[in-house]
Chain A
């Protein structure tokens, strides 16, 4: 197996792990962390294709990953603020019970 295939397989596995967490865990924080892992898997794909892709190009893959990391940080901040707001209202953070958008 080439290193490109290994990176892509690791990325697919990481995506599956994140998806499992996002679908099965009931704590909203763990759902958010699963989504973060899925974003990380996408970043790993960008890096793998930047390194081993057929195009001898510029730093497009790196720039894409930097922007994705910045957006993931913003997503984590807003998501965890929402988790804290939900906790204020219903005293727990289980996603099944967060059915109301009205505060």
Chain B
């Protein structure tokens, strides 16, 4: 009974993710990934990691999906993917990719099922509230937090520079 919730949520996440990445229209893919990320946030929330679940919803459902939608709308493919699907080269590549991914997934599942895991089946999640998490982030992990802040700033500036290069060249 304890395992029913993660099984259902996991099946939902896998089905939504596989559907999203099998769709032909990239707009549909971006929209269909939203339930995948919401389902993952539900799993985190079920596991007792509420703060991470909120972060997942904010960052993925809120920000990444919108950025992806913008990128999709700025780079319309105009049926190029449809034409490509018929070619035998694409079929061979798809077959090899599916085989490799199925092999990796099979090896992972095999090793998980054959490993002697000793889970502590505690009824309650470890008591780590937001307060403890915050004290940890600005305490022992403050260097990593600052590094992530610098990384995000650099990534933002780099994204602007890369995406706006054309205009600057025109001006020069």
* A contact residues vs B (CB 8 Å cutoff): 1-10, 12-21, 23-27, 29-30, 32-34, 36-37, 40, 43-44, 47-48, 50-54, 56-59, 61-63, 65-67, 69-78, 80-85, 87-88, 92-94, 103
Contacts and interface: CB of A to CB of B under 8 A. Distances in A.
Contact of B155 (A54, A62, A77): A77
Interface size class for chain B?
35 or more
B171 interface: no
A54 B104 CA distance: 26
Contacts of A26: 81, 84, 90
B97 A24 contact: yes
16 contacts: A1-B3, A5-B112, A6-B7, A12-B112, A13-B14, A16-B108, A23-B96, A24-B97, A44-B40, A65-B44, A70-B148, A74-B155, A75-B155, A76-B68, A84-B163, A88-B165
Contacts of B48: 51
Contacts of A25: 21
A82 B162 contact: yes
A23 B94 CA distance: 7
B86 interface: no
Sorted nearest first, the 5 A-B pairs with minimum C-beta distance are A16-B105, A23-B97, A10-B10, A74-B155, A81-B159
Contacts of B93: 23-24
B80 interface: yes
